[in-house]
RNA sequence: UCCCUGGUCGUCUAAUGGUAGGACAGCGGCCUUUGACGCCGUGAACAGUGGUUCGAAUCCAUUCCGGGGAGCCA
């Protein structure tokens, strides 16, 4: 098992793995395990797909099997090459490589031949009903449908008509090829489902070769079958389609993969509808599919999420058939856990408050040694310039400190991380009464952060030297949605529920100089502030950082409890 | 109303006829040159009712509640 030793190896079992284990024990499929990840290239992959990717590729890896990437491209009106490319990039980024790459459109000729075969065996017919008429004759949940008047056309007539459909003799929607199954079935999918529809549309791969296109239900099982898939894993909404999936492969007499349905991933406060994500992009409400606020894999990547964190998350959310909603906090937990191990530490001040150290020489610069990652000694140390005027975080000073406030306030002493102890001596205000700077004194004996007399301070705060710091653009992200919305309230105007504060850029953020030239994608923990990653927009003149996730903040909880 | 499907701590998930466990979140504490990380502790669940059984979260019946289903979308 190649996944042994990786963090996700400790995952609990799940019903799909149990099915595979049982199949293996029974000698089914000659001991093969072959899965596939089958997205339609009509949008960008999102975190919901990550679960499916991890499941399909992960199972194949675990059982020394194979996993294909297959594009389910049977509806040319929605599909584009841009999406194909982004999907391949995202799957690789997630850390997986497909054993084979296919497109459902690879099978159009075979599918056509099989359709002819079904016509010849009396199992399919050309129907002239309009889509409205088909709907009207399909029946209801309690009443059976009524047979199409074209249901008993002769095989010869069906063959002729189907050939002419393919030849382009009829306009869109004029006819369909339908499977002759059972108009009285309680399962609508079995009431003579459409196999082919006429669509004079340009396909991103087959161009104008076809003007009839197979439906998903007619295509999926056969595609699985052709590829020798053993376990065809899909989401719960396809449960009702399984009898039809089985019907096609049985009646065609071809290899019969087993369709298994699992619960789609839902995350609190997160939009996971391709339609709505598309809308956000089209309306310009986000900067694109890779906007760091988007739950797309490309958005999460730009935001600073790591594939390792996503994989661990997917391995731990479980696979079942319950319609659950995972708390976003769980994702953030695994994210922080991973980032804590890999992110370089640095100091940055988002909302600066000027501090003058009155007894420190005005012309002196010292270089303080700071560790790059306490969780990884091999990351080494760096030197951080220190001088008389520094900036600290506005939040780290309170003129009137509340109870349990450990940070700087008049008369108190705190430690500047890796530098000195300082004591607040004076608060300088402008005419409006606003604090503009504070004056402190430092203890020269405390260089590096410890006093020889063993004196303790209650707090350590971060800082940036005013003379050496670099201005940065810190993009602070928050949830895109104001509050949990029933994602399913189909056409409710979710755009009115967008959080106007989902992106905030503090105007005067400043960071220690070491971060200025980092390459896009570099991960930092700005100590006591949060995890950040360098954005592709970044330049040495104006470094840009995306806040990936905040640090856990116990004080914020105490403070909130105190004020309420 | 009909078909499919599912209900275990706040959330997600284990236990497959034999001690209801874990993770996240919460709460309390310890540690700390990040109020981070880490560590320790703690509260918290088998939807209801009957039945089968020495024994039921698990099997049966029934009720209640949730999700999906009538595209020429996937």
Q: Phi first, then psi: give them for residue A424, nearest 5 degrees.
A: -75, 125
Give the CA A179 to C1' B25 distance in Å: 51
Q: Output the pLDDT for position A12.
A: 63
List the catalytic residue out of A28, A78, A264, A342.
A264
The ipTM, to two decimals, is 0.96
| A36: annotated active-site residue | no
What's the confidence (pLDDT) of residue A114? 98
Nucleotides of B under 7 A from a protein CB: 1-8, 10-16, 21-27, 33-38, 66-74
Q: In what order do the strands lie in the sheet with A470-471?
A: A348-349, A510-511, A470-471
Question: If we measure between CA atoms, which residue out of A120, A452, A499, A130 comes closest to residue A280?
Answer: A499
Active-site residue flag, A293? no
Residue A368 CA to residue A382 CA, distance in Å, equals 8
Residue A75 tokens, joined? 């509806």
For position A564, what pLDDT does the model report?
74
Q: Which nucleotide is nearest to A139 (CA to C1')?
A: B70
Closest among A405, A401, A367 to A383, alpha carbons compared: A367
DSSP secondary structure, A190-245, as one string: GSS-EEEEE----BTTTBTS-SEEE-HHHHHHHHHHHTT-SEEEEEGGGGGGHHHH
Residue whose entry in the numeric block shows the structure tokens 């999460």: A300
Instruction: Supply the DSSP symbol for A41.
Output: S
> What local confidence, expressed as pLDDT, does residue A495 receive?
82
* Rounded Cα distance, A66 and A328, in Å: 31
Instruction: Give, in Å, how far the C1' of B24 lies from the CA of A552.
Output: 13
Residue A557: nearest nucleotide (C-alpha to C1') = B35
Integer distance in angstroms from CA A236 to C1' B69? Answer: 11
Nearest residue to A295 via CA among A266, A329, A262, A261: A266
Candidates A8, A40, A332, A473; catalytic one? A40
Whether A40 sits among the annotated catalytic residues: the reply is yes
Q: How far apart are CA A480 and CA A495, in angstroms?
A: 10
Question: What residue has its CA nearest to the C1' of B70?
Answer: A140
- Spatial distance between the Cα atoms of A271 and A487, rounded to a whole number of angstroms: 7
**What per-residue confidence (pLDDT) applies to A497?**
84
pLDDT for A492 equals 57
Cα A88 to Cα A100: distance, rounded to the nearest angstrom = 12
CB A246 within 8 A of CB A276: no
Report the pLDDT value the prediction gives residue A312, as an integer from 0 to 100. Answer: 97
Output the pLDDT for position A489.
Answer: 45
Check if the beta carbon of residue A189 is closer than 8 Å to that of residue A241: yes
Per-residue three-class SS string for A284-306: CCCCCCCCCCCCEHHHHHHHCCC
Distance A175 CA to B67 C1' (A): 34
Question: Which entry of A178, A274, A293, A407 is annotated as an active-site residue?
Answer: A274
Q: Mapping DSSP to helix (H, G, I), strand (E, B) and coil, where does residue A384 land?
A: strand
Return the structure tokens found at A81: 């090459």
Q: At what angle do helices A47-62 and A307-317 cross, to 10 degrees?
A: 80
C1' nearest to CA of A71: which nucleotide? B74
- Nucleotide showing the shortest C1' distance to residue A321 CA: B6
Task: Give average pLDDT by consecutive 10-residue segment, chain A, 564 residues.
Answer: 35 87 95 98 98 98 98 97 98 98 98 98 98 97 97 98 98 98 98 98 98 98 98 98 98 98 96 94 96 98 98 96 96 98 98 98 98 94 98 97 96 98 98 97 97 96 98 97 56 78 98 97 98 97 97 95 84
Interatomic CA–C1' length for residue A298 and nucleotide B54, angstroms: 59
| Nearest nucleotide (C1') to alpha carbon of A145 | B70
């Amino acid at each position: 098992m190649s996944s042994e030793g990786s963090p996700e190896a400790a995952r609990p079992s799940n019903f799909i793995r149990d099915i595979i284990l049982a199949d293996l024990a029974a000698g089914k499929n000659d001991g093969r395990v072959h899965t596939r990840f089958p997205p339609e290239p009509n949008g960008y992959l999102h975190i919901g797909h990550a679960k499916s990717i991890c499941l399909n590729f992960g199972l194949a890896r675990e059982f020394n099997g194979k996993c294909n990437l297959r594009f389910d491209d049977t509806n040319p009106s929605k599909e584009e090459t841009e999406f194909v490319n982004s999907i391949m990039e995202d799957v690789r980024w997630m850390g997986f490589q497909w054993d084979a790459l296919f497109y459902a459109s690879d099978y159009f000729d075979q599918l056509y031949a099989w359709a002819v075969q079904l016509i010849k065996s009396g199992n399919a017919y050309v129907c002239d009903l309009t889509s409205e008429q088909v709907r009207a004759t399909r029946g209801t949940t309690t009443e059976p449908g009524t047979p199409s008047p074209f249901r008993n056309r002769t095989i010869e007539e069906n063959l002729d008509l189907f050939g002419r459909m393919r030849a382009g003799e009829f306009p869109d929607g004029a006819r369909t090829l339908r499977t002759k199954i059972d108009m009285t079935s309680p399962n609508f999918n079995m009431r003579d489902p459409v196999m082919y529809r006429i669509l004079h549309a340009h396909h991103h791969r087959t161009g104008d070769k076809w003007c009839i296109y197979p439906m998903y239900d007619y295509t999926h099982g056969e595609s699985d079958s052709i590829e020798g898939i053993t376990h065809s894993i899909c989401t719960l909404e396809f449960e009702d389609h399984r009898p039809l999936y089985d019907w096609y492969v049985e009646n065609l007499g071809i290899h019969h993969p087993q369709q298994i349905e699992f619960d789609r991933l839902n995350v609190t406060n997160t939009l996971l509808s391709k339609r709505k994500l598309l809308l956000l992009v089209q309306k310009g409400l986000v900067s694109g599919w890779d906007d760091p606020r988007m739950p797309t894999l490309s958005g999460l990547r730009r935001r600073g999420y790591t594939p390792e964190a996503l994989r661990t998350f997917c391995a731990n959310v479980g696979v079942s058939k319950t319609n659950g909603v995972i708390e976003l906090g769980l994702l953030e937990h695994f994210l922080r856990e991973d980032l804590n191990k890999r992110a370089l530490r640095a100091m940055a001040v988002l909302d600066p408050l000027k501090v003058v150290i009155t007894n420190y020489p005005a012309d002196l610069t010292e270089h303080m040694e700071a560790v790059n990652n306490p969780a990884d000694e091999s990351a080494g140390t760096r030197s951080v310039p220190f001088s008389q005027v520094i900036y600290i975080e506005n939040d780290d000073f309170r003129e009137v400190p509340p109870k349990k406030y450990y940070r700087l306030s008049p008369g108190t002493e705190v430690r500047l991380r890796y530098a000195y102890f300082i004591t607040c001596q004076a608060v300088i205000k402008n005419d409006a009464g606003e604090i503009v700077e504070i004056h402190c004194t430092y203890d020269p004996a405390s260089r590096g952060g410890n006093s020889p007399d063993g004196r303790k301070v209650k707090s350590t705060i971060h800082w940036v030297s005013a003379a050496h710091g670099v201005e940065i653009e810190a993009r602070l992200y928050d949830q895109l949605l104001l509050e949990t919305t029933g994602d399913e309230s189909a056409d409710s105007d979710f755009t009115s529920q967008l959080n106007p504060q989902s992106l905030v850029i503090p105007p005067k953020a400043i960071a220690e100089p070491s971060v200025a030239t980092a390459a896009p994608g570099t991960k930092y923990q700005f100590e006591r502030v949060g995890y950040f990653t360098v954005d592709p927009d970044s330049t040495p003149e104006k470094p840009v950082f995306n806040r990936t996730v905040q640090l856990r903040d116990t004080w914020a909880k105490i403070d909130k409890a105190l004020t309420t």
